[in-house]
Structure 1
């Protein structure tokens, strides 16, 4: 992966991480279209580039994250992230295999788009408008919904937002809680990929950070990717909240359907493998 490819993929990540359109799915397709070879580094990059996106949430919502007096806020995030931690550990290898399947992405985009189109009508009477009203039980259920995003193309943001609305959160609060939940979820996934998981390189088990540090090109791509993802994600978050309050999810739903159909056509035509 060269510097230009890393920047393009990072722009895709920043634009899509917090929108309900699947950042992982879009990055997989971007990598295929750019001709990026599927290696351990590209798999790590797809996960670890989320560090930049995580920082964007911490910067935009820094007051919420440093307010240690409201300890229940942190406790709810811990409760909500538990399902993803457990299932992510149990199905790590299967998830990695799905990361190489554009067909899975296409189908998930298409079906997810249909769900988003009907979501506003399905949950018309939200009752919870403030984060303090979210119970630990509701936080856990939202965390269960988030686990659907382990299938590339589903979208972590979409799954957790739908989970929030199913638990009677308003659109904007469901989106904000999804942003907050992204921090421990993506931090755990990135940390596991970099420091805990054993990657096989030439028959030898190595850690993710070893693969990144193995060449100056990898280091450059990793740094550039996270910086670009951070900047673009901040802009995307600001846009999304305002758009969601006014227009809901229908446009994102139609986008997913069109993107899924286009991707299926590209796969069936042999243009994309």
Structure 2
């Protein structure tokens, strides 16, 4: 397969999976086994494309929050977004500085997909028994921050799945409200993570010799695909449960364990 086509497919895959509760990191790791490994810079750029996509989706909400800080509800919501981001940074940065690296084998991804699928089924069932609430509490904000760290450490976990369902169990039981809060927290979190990784690559002199055409094509694909997927998901969850995504995770995790050699 030619490099531009594989780059396009990887960009589309990033846009498809970054915000669905199925793990973009895990899918990219698996896909690059067949489509060819890409540089860390390439992976950072396509993730930035997905971040740009969700920023565009929530542009009106973000503008409303930014211009409405004089209103108590908006100010409280922004403070809780900041708290969730701060928890992620304070806990996640020491983990990164300690030299933690994501595993590059498929087996941990497969197990994370399986465990995450079970977690989604159980968590949604439990959350449905709670009162229907759409108010973000400080407990929810801190929980979302911690969930993002867990997802960053274990590929295949899915940042959105871990954070959305923990938020629902901690009291933000309405799916749409939990999803919006997690997605909004994800914007500064992912921008910061991408910027940090970019600076690491620049420090180590790894930004040269890039196939810029492939990088640009993949970035554009991630933006367009991510925008469409997030718009679709926000409408879907208003009337549907997350069960389909959980079943997909279980099926994919089982297939990887059954049909791929251990550790490959």
User: Is the pair's TM-score, using the shorter chain for normalization, greater than 0.5?
Assistant: yes
CA shift, 1:25, in A, is 0.4
SS in 1 for 2:260: helix
Give 1:75 deviation, angstroms: 2.5
1:8-87 aligned within 5 A: 8-36=9-37, 42-67=39-64, 68=66, 69-70=68-69, 71-87=75-91
Q: 1:76 to 1:263 in 2, by over 3 A?
A: same
Alignment-derived partner of residue 202 in structure 1: none
1:244 aligns with 2:234: no
Relative to structure 2, which stretch is displaced further, 165-174 or 250-259? 165-174
Q: Quote the offset at 1:216 in angstroms.
A: 4.6
Task: From the superposition, tell whether residues 221 and 84 of structure 1 become closer, same or farther in structure 2 (CA, over 3 Å).
Answer: farther
Per-residue CA deviations over 1:112-159 (Å, capped at 9, x if unaligned) read 111112222111124422xxx313342122211222211100000101
Q: Structure 2 vs 1, CA of residues 97 and 53 (structure 1 numbering), >3 Å: closer, same or farther?
A: closer
Change (3 A) 1:74 1:222: farther
Partner secondary structure for residue 20 of structure 1: coil
1:156 to 2:159 alignment: yes
Q: Partner of 2:189 in structure 1? A: 185
Q: TM-score, normalised by structure 1?
A: 0.84
**What is the deviation of 1:74?**
3.1
RMSD between aligned residues: 2.1
Cα distance in structure 2, aligned partners of 1:211 and 1:245:
44
Unaligned 5+ runs, structure 1: 200-205
CA distance in structure 1 between the partners assigned to 2:169 and 2:41 by the alignment = 33
Deviation at 1:222, TM superposition (A): 2.6
Moved more, 111-120 or 147-156: 111-120
Q: Any stretches of 5+ residues in structure 2 without a counterpart? A: 70-74
Within 5 A, what are the aligned runs for 1:83-98? 83-92=87-96, 95-98=100-103
Q: Alignment partner of 1:256: what SS?
A: helix
Of the three residues 229, 252, 261, the one matched with 2:254 is 261
Distance 1:88 1:173, change over 3 A: same
2:227 maps to 1:227: no
Corresponding residue to 1:211 among 202, 206, 209:
206
Q: Which moved more, 1:45-54 or 1:153-162?
A: 45-54
Q: Is 2:139–2:170's contact at 8 Å kept on the other side of the alignment?
A: no
CA contact (8 A) 1:48 1:193 kept: no
In structure 2, distance between residues paired with 1:222 and 1:88: 27
Confirm or deny: 8 A CA contact 1:84 1:147 kept in the other structure. yes
Say whether 1:140 aligns with 2:176: no
Q: TM-score, normalised by structure 2?
A: 0.87
Alignment counterpart, residue 172 of structure 1, candidates 150, 153, 176: 176
Tell me if 1:115 matches 2:116: no
* 1:153-172 residue CA offsets vs partner (Å, 9 max, x unmatched): 00001011012101222111
Q: Following TM superposition, by how much is the alpha carbon of 1:87 offset from its aligned partner in structure 2, in angstroms?
A: 3.1
